[in-house]
Amino acid sequence: NSSINPIAQQSMNQLASERFLNDSIAGLNQTPKQLPCKYFYDQRGSQLFDQICETEDYYLTRTETAIMQRHADEMGNCLGKGVMLVEFGSGSSIKTRYLLDHLIQPVAYVPVDISREHLYESAGQISGDYPQIEVLPVCADFTKPFSLPNPKRRPSHDAVYFPGSTIGNFQPNQAKQLLESIAHMCGEQGGLLIGVDLRKDRETLERAYNDTQGVTAQFNLNLLHRMRNELGATIDVDAFEHHAFYNEEAGRIEIYLRSRIDQTIQLDGQTVEVEAGELIHTEYSHKYTVDGFAQLAAEAGWTLRRWWTDENDYFAVLHLVV
Ligand code: AVJ
């Protein structure tokens, strides 16, 4: 919480750093080496992500926003009256505004994000613009259990908004587990409104993850800068380059950091050897068909009620119920 005392804040930051350190060491000791994509999002990483969303090449945000703009009234009706809306990975909460504009007597909005400063800043703005909705930000890693705040007024039910195709970052099995825990979180009356990036031609997909301005490359490399700045790691960051391609069989974009040289990373007293040309995996971005996603969600207890897409079928927003 933003009103929490500075000592508590400091120990929470320390805990977050410890997790970042432990996960980094564990990941670099695996074969092949990997680093979790959730650590992209410190303050600079969140800013870089917002910049990616504004590039011509990254069609996802633009397309999803247009879908929201066009259909938010129907979505608001689907989610029902008196809802507490919980958003997973709220970031700048830009798309959410279309939804908030069309919810029927909403009780509370709970943005959940791992990036603390970014979360509180966006929550403050939403709170100022929507005085009738209680805004209760939660700084959490939503892949781990976390508790929901208690709003002053009692909601008739909870609904989860999970935009941005963030679900694509999870391997299908993990995605299923996350969808299961969302079902538990919302309960019987609960609903889920989720944004999913759809399968399409390789060229369009690969362009989105290799933008000509190189913002995605900076975003990926920011992970190594964070390790250097926050964890005191010794890394030749400039010797790494961004590498992203579409794996069509697996239906996913795969993102790596590639070292151009042999180098030794030192981290918390440990050394990790990286060979020239070696890849460190940082992110998957899975692409689905609407049917494929509905099937996966069904395994987690969800039923597809409605869905909306754009004129090119690039992206879909799905409404599911338990
Ligand atoms: C935030 C997970 C939707 O997978 O497209 C953008 C993150 N990575 N460019 C995605 C991302 C590289 C993004 N998501």
- For 214, phi and psi rounded to 5 degrees? 75, 20
Q: Does any ligand 1 atom lie closer than 6 A to the CB of residue 60?
A: yes
Which numbered atom of ligand 1 lies nearest the CA of 244?
12
On the CB side of 1, CA atoms within 13 Å amount to: 9
Q: Does any ligand 1 atom lie closer than 6 A to the CB of residue 283?
A: yes
**Pair type for strands 134-135 and 138-139:** unpaired
Nearest CA to ligand 1 atom 4: 285
Partners of residue 303 on adjacent β-strands: 321
Q: Does any ligand 1 atom lie closer than 6 A to the CB of residue 194?
A: no
Tokens of 243: 């590498």
Tell me the CA–centroid distance for residue 171 and ligand 1, in Å: 14
Cα separation, 126 vs 73, in Å, equals 19
Eight-state DSSP code of residue 238: G
Ligand 1 binding pocket mutation candidate from 95, 165, 242, 284 (most atoms within 8 A of CB)? 165
Partners of residue 319 on adjacent β-strands: 193, 306
Q: What is the mean pLDDT of each run of 10 residues along the chain (322 residues)?
A: 69 86 97 96 92 97 97 97 95 90 97 90 95 95 92 96 96 97 91 98 98 98 96 97 98 98 96 98 98 98 97 98 95
Cα separation, 140 vs 148, in Å, equals 10
Tell me the CA–centroid distance for residue 220 and ligand 1, in Å: 10
Q: Does any ligand 1 atom lie closer than 6 A to the CB of residue 52?
A: yes
Tell me the CA–centroid distance for residue 88 and ligand 1, in Å: 14
How does DSSP assign 255-270, residue by residue? Answer: EEEEESS-EEEEETTE
Cα separation, 256 vs 261, in Å, equals 15
Asked whether 319 and 193 are in contact (CB, 8 A), the reply is yes
Tokens of 112: 């959940």
- What ipTM goes with this model? 0.98
* pTM listed for this prediction: 0.93
Tell me the CA–centroid distance for residue 5 and ligand 1, in Å: 33
**Closest Cα partner for 40 from 52, 25, 30, 31?**
52
Given this model, what pLDDT does residue 15 score? Answer: 85
196: enclosing H helix or E strand: strand 191-197
